Amino acid sequence: MALQRPKGTQDLLPSQTAKWQYLEEMMRKVCREYGYEEIRTPIFEATELFQRGVGETTDIVNKEMYTFLDKGERSITLRPEGTASVCRAYVENKLYAGPQPVKLYYIGPMFRYERPQTGRYRQFHQFGVEVLGSEKPVVDAETISLVWDLYQRLGLKNLEVHINSVGCPSCRADHRQKLQEFLAPRREELCPDCQDRFERNPLRILDCKNPKCQKLTQGAPTTADTLCEDCQGHFNALQELLQAAGVVFRVNPRLVRGLDYYRKTAFEVMVEEIGAQSAICGGGRYDGLTEEIGGPPTPGIGFAMGMERVLAAIEVQKAMPDQVERPFVMVAALGKEAEGKGFALLQALRHAGIPAGMDLLGRGLKAQLKNADRQEAKLALLIGEEELQKDSFILRDLSLGEQQEFPWQDALALISQRYREEHGS
Ligand code: HAM
C-alpha cells in the first residue's frame, strides 16, 4: 500500500501555496508597518519549557504534546505554540538588555495531538506577535489593532472580536474562591474533566464545551466581577484606546483562554462561517511568564492566529485575489535547431523579468498552442522550419487570434515593449 501522510497533517500543493504566500506577505507587510521584527525559534524545545510556560493544568501540556526522548535521553517536545519559545529566546539572548519594548513576530508550524476535524490539525501554522517589556494598555491596543488592520486588509468580514480581563494573581484568587463557592453545590454534576478542574483550575470550567457544564455555569461569577483596581483601570483604558482606533469589539466576560499564562487582557477573534473551530486568533497579556521560565520579571502581550483558519475564512468569503502567475509568452518551437534558438530567447525574456514558458515535452505545434491557451498566456512566439530559414518569428496574440511575422532580432525588444504596455511599467 502506498504510504500516506500522518493523520492531522496536510500537503500544501501549488494551488494552495500561492494563497499561503499571499497571506504571509500581507502579514509581513503589516508587521513592517507596525514596527515588528521577525524571530525564528527552534521547532522543538526542552519539554520543561512548555510544562512551566504553558502550564501543567492545560489540555495542551496534559494531552496534546508531541514529546519524545532524543538519543541523549533528553525530553524534547515539538512546539505546541510560540509564546513560551519567544520568552525563552528573549531571556537567553538577553534582549531585555536592549531598548524596550521588544516587538516580535513569527510564522511557522505548531504541533498538537488533537482530534483532527475541519479547522483543527495536528500540524498547523501560526502567525504570532509578542511584545515584551511594556505593561501599558496601549501595547494591548496596538496588538489588537494590528490583528484588526490585517483582517481589514485581507477583506475579511463578519469578524467577532471578543475581549475580556482575566485579572492578575491577586484578583484571580478572589475569583477562584467565589467560583468554587458557586460551583460547589453542582460539583457532582460537572463532566469528569471539569470535576478535575474544580481544584486545579476552576476558571477553565467556564470554557467547557460540554452543554451540561455550560448550563451549570450560567450566572457563575466571572473574572470581570472581581477585578482589582489596577486590572479594572487597565481594562477600561484598553477599551477606550480600541474605540479610538476604530476597532469593533465586544466585551465577553466569559472569555477564558486555554493557556495558563494569561493575566489582565485576553481576546479572541471568531468567524462563525468557518464552522465549529471558529477562533481565527487568540491572545492576551502574560506578565508573569518570563519570570516563570527563569528570566527577569517582564510584562508581555501577544496573539497567534491559525493560518489554516484565516485562509478558510478568506475562502468562504471569497476574498482571495487571483494568485495564479500566468506566462506572458509561450515560446513554441518546432525542430531541434528552432528549439535551441527559442530556448536562448526564453532565458533572455526571463532575465528581463517577463514570465515566459516553453513546451517541455517535445510536442507538435498544435499541441503547443493548445498548451499555451490552457496556461492562459497572452502571446505565443512561433518558430518552425520556415521562420528559421527567414531568420524571423511569428507572434500570435492568443486572445485576439491575430498573428504577424517579425525579424528575429526584434523579438526581445518587441515582447518587452508589449509586456510593459500590458503591465503599465
Ligand atoms: P491558542 O488559542 O492556543 O493560543 O492558538 C491560537 C490560534 O491558533 C487559535 O485561535 C487557532 O486559530 C489556531 N489553532 C490552535 N490550535 C489549532 C489546531 N489544532 N489546528 C488549527 N489551528 C489551531 C496560542 O497558541 C497562544 N500562544 C497565543 C498567544 C500569543 N498568546 C499570547 N501570545
For residue 302, the ligand 1 atom closest to its alpha carbon is: 33
Residue nearest to atom 20 of ligand 1 (CA): 120
Q: In whole angstroms, what is the distance from residue 252 CA to residue 273 CA?
A: 20
Q: What is the mean pLDDT of each run of 10 residues along the chain (425 residues)?
A: 96 95 98 98 97 88 95 98 98 97 98 97 98 98 98 97 95 90 92 89 86 91 91 98 98 87 96 95 97 95 98 97 89 95 97 96 93 95 96 96 96 96 81
User: Domains (ranges, CATH) in the chain?
Assistant: 14-168+228-316 (3.30.930.10), 329-418 (3.40.50.800)
For residue 258, what pLDDT is reported? 79
C-alpha cell at 332: 513554441
How many other β-carbons are positioned within 10 Å of the β-carbon of residue 1?
Answer: 3
For residue 259, what pLDDT is reported? 82
C-alpha cell at 9: 497533517
For residue 56, what pLDDT is reported? 85
Among residues 74, 70, 45, 50, the alpha carbon closest in space to that of 62 is found at: 50
- The torsion angles phi and psi of 110, rounded to 5 degrees, stand at -130, 160
Q: What is the DSSP string of 297-348?
A: ---EEEEEEEHHHHHHHHHHTT-PPP-----SEEEEE-SHHHHHHHHHHHHH
| pLDDT mean across residues, the chain | 95
Pocket of ligand 1 (CB under 6 A): 81-83, 112, 114, 120-121, 124, 126, 128, 130, 258-259, 279-284, 286, 302-306, 308-309
Q: Of 10, 58, 78, 81, which is best to mutate to test ligand 1, by the most ligand atoms within 8 angstroms of its C-beta?
A: 81
For residue 425, what pLDDT is reported? 63
pLDDT single digits (tens) 52-100: 999 888 889 989 999 999 999 999 999 999 999 999 999 999 999 999 9
For residue 327, with 0-12 CB atoms within 10 Å meaning exposed, 13-18 middle and 19 or more buried, which class applies? Answer: buried
Distance in Å, CA 133 to ligand 1 centroid: 22
Q: Which helix (H) or strand (E) holds 222?
A: none
User: In this structure, are residues 81 and 283 in contact, taking their beta carbons and an 8 Å threshold?
Assistant: no
Instruction: Tell me the pTM.
Output: 0.92
For residue 208, what pLDDT is reported? 86
For residue 318, what pLDDT is reported? 96
